[in-house]
């Protein structure tokens, strides 16, 4: 396990204890849940941790960690920083420094992604129709902020080039995406999702799949995930029990300037 992964696990343990202390619901999702079920912890070649929270709990967390507690803080698009162009929150370790490679690179600390869970529909058809409105706005945002990458499919790089020419303010578009996501309450609908997922429509789930937060083991401590975890993983990944080919076992992120011993708040 790398030092970077150890840092992520240290952060995750602190965050889950904080959420439990304040009685806030959360679920491991995506590769984090896959790692817990298939590997008992972080996927060996992974370099991120993702959780999702029902919107009401998510908003409470934003207020609780709006200012640093110990050396942790949560930032979201509701803040004033013009370079924060994510329509979801990030939980940062302020004792670290890391730059995420985008069109205009964003420097903060090592982070955990925190996604809000929102309602999307009373039926699968209704949910998909509602989601498409958000997806179009989110794709415009992605086109605007994504940088050219050699390992990205050619058409995505072309979309990014076109996006760079669009007269769109990235910060304002981020806020617009967030506002669209908030239009349907998690508690009021049978179908829910975190609407800015890279898995897009595959994330549309019956709320019963999330169900009651259910305990799982992750690197020796207890964390919570969807009640019907295997059903969730099958919808996202298909045959998730099968390991990917060795040449596919790599991170999808592009981090630079990682320093686990220097705070990004230190400008010296």
Tokens 């230190």, residue located: 266
Contact between 166 and 77 (Cβ < 8 Å): no
Per residue in 190-213, pLDDT (tens digit) is 999 999 888 999 999 999 999 999
- The whole-number pLDDT of residue 249 equals 78
Band of residue 150 on the pLDDT scale cut at 50, 70, 90: low
- The whole-number pLDDT of residue 51 equals 98
- The whole-number pLDDT of residue 146 equals 67
Residue 164 CA to residue 143 CA, distance in Å, equals 7
- The whole-number pLDDT of residue 154 equals 46
Residue, of 103 and 250, whose pLDDT is higher: 250
**Is pLDDT at 105 greater than 80 in this prediction?**
no
Q: State if pTM tops 0.75.
A: yes
Band of residue 141 on the pLDDT scale cut at 50, 70, 90: confident
Tokens 């992604």, residue located: 113
- The whole-number pLDDT of residue 59 equals 97
Q: Where are the alpha helices (DSSP H) in 146-169?
A: 154-165
- The whole-number pLDDT of residue 139 equals 86
- The whole-number pLDDT of residue 148 equals 47
Query: 39 — alpha (psi -120 to 50), left (phi > 0) or beta?
Result: alpha
State how far the alpha carbon of 96 is from the alpha carbons of 102, 107, 191, 250, in Å: 19, 10, 38, 23
The whole-chain average pLDDT of the chain stands at 90
Q: What is the maximal distance between C-alpha atoms in the chain? A: 54
Residue 14 CA to residue 18 CA, distance in Å, equals 6
**Is pLDDT at 10 greater than 70 in this prediction?**
yes
Per residue in 25-71, pLDDT (tens digit) is 999 999 999 999 999 999 999 989 999 999 999 999 999 999 999 99
Q: CA triplet 194, 137, 202: central angle to 5 degrees?
A: 35
Q: CA triplet 110, 43, 33: central angle to 5 degrees?
A: 90
Residues 1-37 as b/e (b if ≥16 CB within 10 A, e otherwise) read eeebbebbbebbbbbbebbeeeebbbbbbbbbbbbbb
Sign of torsion over alpha carbons 30, 22, 213, 134: negative
DSSP-assigned letter for residue 243: P
All structural domains of the chain, each given as residue ranges with its CATH number in brackets, are: 3-117+192-259 (3.30.460)
- The whole-number pLDDT of residue 160 equals 57
**Is pLDDT at 266 greater than 70 in this prediction?**
yes
């Amino acid at each position: 396990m790398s030092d970077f992964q150890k840092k992520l696990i240290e952060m995750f343990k602190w965050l889950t204890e904080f959420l439990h202390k304040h009685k806030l619901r959360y679920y491991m999702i995506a590769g984090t849940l896959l790692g817990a079920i298939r590997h008992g912890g972080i996927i060996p070649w992974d370099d991120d941790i993702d959780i999702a929270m029902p919107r009401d709990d998510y908003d409470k967390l934003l207020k609780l960690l709006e200012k640093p507690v110990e050396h942790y803080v949560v930032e979201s698009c509701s803040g004033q920083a013009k370079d924060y162009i994510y329509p979801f929150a990030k939980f940062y370790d302020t004792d670290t420094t890391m730059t995420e490679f985008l069109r205009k690179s964003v420097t903060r600390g090592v982070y955990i992604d925190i996604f809000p869970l929102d309602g999307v529909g009373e039926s699968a058809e209704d949910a998909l129709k509602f989601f498409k409105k958000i997806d179009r706005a989110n794709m415009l945002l992605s086109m605007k902020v994504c940088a050219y990458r050699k390992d990205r499919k050619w058409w995505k790089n072309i979309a990014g080039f076109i996006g760079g020419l669009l007269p769109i303010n990235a910060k304002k578009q981020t806020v617009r995406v967030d506002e669209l996501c908030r239009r349907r309450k998690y508690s009021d609908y049978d179908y829910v999702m975190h609407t800015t997922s890279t898995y897009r429509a595959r994330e549309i789930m019956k709320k019963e799949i999330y169900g009651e937060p259910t305990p799982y083991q992750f690197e020796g401590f207890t964390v919570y995930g969807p009640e019907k975890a295997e059903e969730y993983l099958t919808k996202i990944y298909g045959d998730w029990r099968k390991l990917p080919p060795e040449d596919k076992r790599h991170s999808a992120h592009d981090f630079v300037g990682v320093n686990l011993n220097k705070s990004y708040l230190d400008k010296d």
